[in-house]
Amino acid sequence: MTACAIEGGSAGAAATADPEAEPEPEEPGEPARADGSGLLPASTAAGQADEGNGETEEAEASSTVTDARSHADAPPPPGGFTLTADGAYAARLTAAPGPPGERAWYPERWTLDGPEPYAVPLPLDQPEEPDSEVSPLADGRVLIRRRVADRQMFSLLYPTGPGTGELLLGAVGCAEMTLLPPSPDGRCVYAQAAGADHTSLWLVAGGAFGPEEVARIPGHCSGGVWLDRAGRMLALDRQEPGGGPVKAVAVDLGRQGEVTPLLQIAPGSDDRLLLADPDSGLLLLRSDAPGHDRLGWGVLGSCLPVRFPECLRLPDVAVTPFAVQPGQMLMPESCAVALRIDGAPGSWVGVWRPAGRQLHQFAAPLGWVPGAGYWSRDGVLRLPYANGATPCGVALLEAPEDVEPSAVTGRTGGGEGGGEPSAADAAPAVCKPVPLGQAPLHGAARPD
């Protein structure tokens, strides 16, 4: 593993950071709904109202704001929504109908690699606790972690005719434990138990004799990103015993957890790894080396410095990457990256490429679990969602083409190219839910 340097200097003061020079981003408008309606920024909405049907558009916009905010206020399901590395299966905890204080939670498996997505409930004789975690395997089974007193219990769940089968794997005597993202091999699931002085890594599914400790790492670890397709190299964000900055390290599970530095941008900076693509080597990270917390990107094993794109700095919102386009061998700058954007109106989707330097924004489908999604190799983003009308659906979004900004104005050269300025002054375009068997949408609606 190669330590990364910040652009403009290596391992220096924060002032040595040289973020990519791009126009200062403007605040985006509220996201449109998945049915095609939405609210644009004030200047854009005023221009469209002059074209006709102003009263109708105002009524639709008002309704959209109410629906978007009420949806944003709804609590997310516990345990989140976890996908296998290849996107074939997903799992989550969901609730049976009932009063909010009396919800009965149970696991649910989604099958996403067929012509149409479908969900299979996996309830047992008694409901699950909201703090349980689930993780899908490549064979369709679902691992569940339950906390019972000061122990962690692990089982595999699978459908058996009208009921649910359960295979007990064993228990770990630990008060707190967190599942890591599913291993790329699809067979193993790991968990970490972080203490004040060390962190234990456990193989909780895929081993020969039930849960077993596979590594013990000095310091307090968090996060978890896979660096290869074999499920051997794991990146963790580690703080040394006794405190200090947080630095991403690489853990070699094939060598009893041997630890090597991964990110060392500045001596006192917190450098966390968020995503990695094993095919291209693209790394997405978060660091305060530029003087404040910023999203950046680099290439695994490269001598080039880490860069912090200005187009990923949006005011009053949080931007978090959640999926990278696979299959772009030796072309990290061409990988499309999906980003979750959280603001006052709710959550919506961003698409960005390192080479393009433009952030395209799209409304998420109604019922999208923020941060859930995966790319196909040909650049189609799949966003799982569930709402009252569709209990299990996938919205398709094709990565837009980037248009070079004008050297004079700093804006795109024409409105027909499908790109947007890096400032993203247009409202998020609509990401329309469609069945997987149909072709993905092309292009994005532009207000101009």
Q: How does residue 281 score in pLDDT terms, banded at 50, 70 and 90? A: very high
Is the confidence at residue 76, as pLDDT, over 50? Answer: no
Calculate what percentage of the chain has a pLDDT beyond 90. 62
> Which residue has better confidence, 442 or 194?
194
Q: Tens digits of per-residue pLDDT, 109-146?
A: 999 998 899 999 999 999 999 999 999 999 999 999 99
Is the confidence at residue 264, as pLDDT, over 80? Answer: yes
pLDDT at 435: 39
Is the confidence at residue 66, as pLDDT, over 50? Answer: no
Q: How does residue 185 score in pLDDT terms, banded at 50, 70 and 90? A: very high
Calculate what percentage of the chain has a pLDDT beyond 70. 72
Q: Which domains does the chain have, with CATH numbers?
A: 14-430 (2.130.10.10)
pLDDT at 112: 95
Cα atoms found within 13 Å of the Cα of residue 79, Cβ hemisphere only = 27
Q: pTM for the full model?
A: 0.76
Q: How does residue 429 score in pLDDT terms, banded at 50, 70 and 90? A: low
Q: Tens digits of per-residue pLDDT, 323-345?
A: 999 998 889 999 999 999 999 99
Q: Tens digits of per-residue pLDDT, 351-383?
A: 999 999 899 999 999 999 899 999 999 999 999
Q: Tens digits of per-residue pLDDT, 216-244?
A: 999 999 999 999 999 999 999 999 998 89
